[in-house]
Amino acid sequence: MARPNSKSSWFTRFANGASRTTGKPVTFVLALLVVVVWGVTGPIFDYSDTWQLIINTGTTIVTFLIVFLIQNSQNRDAAAMQAKLDELIRAVAEARGQFIGIEHRTDKEIQLIRAELERESEEEELASGKPPSDTYLDRLISRR
């Protein structure tokens, strides 16, 4: 499988590294330590506006940037999951190939597809002679 070239993947490499780093307990402890130090210095700086502005600005900037890193990671994870699911659909003989790529449909179209699948599931359940399940979750769990 081809690897992305370095020009197109610098952000991906950065986002992966940042995600790994920010997800570690030591990073949380470091952030907590920053907040504790800031809090302890409050009396030293007489709880001034500048003292408050430092933590507000810092946390706002970090939060703003982390949102983009999280979104990048989620987009990549979702795309990888869809590729894996598409491969499973393609590989299983009984699976319906028209489900490949449905994540590109509108929300309304996906809701209609889900409703149709639920209807088909109920019909299959009734045809099997088993007593009907109480909830959709029960139907999903009992499927084999």
| Average pLDDT across the chain, whole number | 87
3 is a domain residue = no
In a domain, 5, yes or no: no
- How much is the pLDDT for 84? 94
Q: Are residues 87 and 117 in the same domain?
A: no
Is the separation of the CB atoms in 27 and 77 below 8 Å?
A: no
- DSSP label of 50: H
CA distance 27 to 43: 26
Within a domain: residue 122? yes
Is the pLDDT assigned to residue 54 strictly greater than 90?
Answer: yes
Q: For residue 89, give its domain range.
A: 10-99
Find all residues with CB under 8 Å of 18, minimum gap 6, and list them: 69
Count CB-CB contacts under 10 A for residue 35: 12
How many separate domains does the chain show?
A: 2
- The mean-pLDDT minimum among 1-15, 17-31, 109-123 falls in 1-15
What average pLDDT does range 36-55 have in this prediction?
96
CA angle 71, 112, 76 (to 5 degrees): 20
pTM of the model: 0.63
Average pLDDT on 39-44 reads: 96
Same domain, 39 and 92: yes
Residue 123 lies in a domain: yes
- Please indicate, yes or no, if residue 94 is contained in any of the structural domains: yes
Are 95 and 113 in a shared domain? Answer: no
Q: Same structural domain for residues 134 and 77? A: no
Q: Is residue 1 part of a domain?
A: no
Domain assignment of residue 95, yes or no? yes
71 and 116 co-located in one domain: no
pLDDT at position 7 is 57
Same structural domain, 94 and 128: no
pLDDT at 137 over 80: no
Q: Are residues 49 and 111 in the same domain?
A: no
